[in-house]
Amino acid sequence: MSTSREWLRAGLELLYPPVCQLCQTNRADARAGLVCGKCWSQVRFIRPPFCERCGLPFEGDLTTAFVCTNCHDLELHFTSARSAVVAKTAVLEAIHRFKYQRALWFEDFLAELLVREAAPELKTDNWDFIVPVPLHPLKLREREFNQAERLAVHLSHATIIPLNTKILRRIALTATQTLLTRDQRATNMKNAFTVRPDARLGGKRIVLLDDVFTTGATTNDCARALRDAGAAAVCVWTVARGL
């Protein structure tokens, strides 16, 4: 652990009481992202069976690979998408507060969820880069940080896969996706991303990283841009999966 992160954690413990920042009741350590054991117990890790294309978990007993109704009729530009956990309860609140309220102490909690599930999978194959989904420059100026990039740093360290934040750019300032249907999301994100002209992606295998996967509209357009620029394969990993 770097000295700067140790000082950051020490500062957090001074500024905030050592209680869970989700339930505000139980004790929690900064090293656990200020999330207590009870809130941790609400986390639902995604286990098989799940859609082999988009990673949507399925309730039931299946012994063969399947493709879900959410994506079987879609043109997907990524080879597969996986998420560590279901986007509910404690996880969803932590993500929202991390992104929109600058609750940066949740970074370690979310990163641990991601690394715990993604790192073992990614280490079994050869990937050239981890590329976080970029924010539009105006949105980045407003938020002051890219949550996907911060999480990607942790995954890069855990897997030794190089992090590259320069390849992909967001060129369209799109409307918020929250209240849009699946088709509206796809239209909203169409051609929202591009690859830098000097990027050399011929034959490269890329891990695309974001915080939440809902319909896949955002990551799919990112993957389209990467594949159009010559990437041989793009897999998607996110912390959480919307249902």
Closest by CA to 92, choosing from 238, 224, 226, is 238
Instruction: Residue 27: give the domain boundaries.
Output: 1-41
Q: Are residues 68 and 131 in the same domain?
A: yes
Query: Taking 80 as the threshold, does the pLDDT of residue 64 lie above it?
Result: no
Q: Are residues 25 and 130 in the same domain?
A: no
pLDDT at 142: 93
Query: Taking 90 as the threshold, does the pLDDT of residue 181 lie above it?
Result: no
Q: Are residues 168 and 100 in the same domain?
A: yes
Query: Taking 80 as the threshold, does the pLDDT of residue 144 lie above it?
Result: yes
**pLDDT digits 0-9 by tens, 87-136:** 999 999 999 999 999 999 999 999 999 999 999 999 999 999 999 999 99
Between residues 15 and 185, which one has the greater pLDDT?
185
**pLDDT digits 0-9 by tens, 215-229:** 899 999 999 999 999
Q: Work out the pLDDT band at 11, boundaries 50, 70, 90.
A: low
Query: CA-CA distances (angstroms) from residue 129 to 170, 210, 214, 230?
Result: 18, 14, 23, 14
Q: Work out the pLDDT band at 1, boundaries 50, 70, 90.
A: very low
What whole-number percentage of the chain has pLDDT above 90? 68
Q: Are residues 127 and 196 in the same domain?
A: yes
CATH number at residue 149: 3.40.50.2020
Q: Are residues 32 and 57 in the same domain?
A: no
Query: Taking 50 as the threshold, does the pLDDT of residue 50 lie above it?
Result: yes
Q: Are residues 62 and 30 in the same domain?
A: no
Query: Taking 80 as the threshold, does the pLDDT of residue 185 lie above it?
Result: no
Structurally, how many domains does the chain consist of?
2
Q: Are residues 115 and 194 in the same domain?
A: yes
Tell me the mean pLDDT in the region 40-61: 89
Tell me the mean pLDDT in the region 10-24: 76
Q: Work out the pLDDT band at 191, boundaries 50, 70, 90.
A: confident
pLDDT at 243: 81
Q: Are residues 20 and 77 in the same domain?
A: no
The phi-psi region of residue 75 (left if phi > 0; otherwise alpha if psi is between -120 and 50; otherwise beta) is beta
Q: Are residues 143 and 216 in the same domain?
A: yes
The average confidence (pLDDT) of the chain is: 89
Q: Are residues 63 and 22 in the same domain?
A: no
Q: Are residues 102 and 199 in the same domain?
A: yes
Tell me the mean pLDDT in the region 64-74: 74
Tell me the mean pLDDT in the region 54-81: 81
What whole-number percentage of the chain has pLDDT above 70? 88
pLDDT at 31: 76
Q: Are residues 237 and 142 in the same domain?
A: yes
**pLDDT digits 0-9 by tens, 150-170:** 999 999 999 999 999 999 999
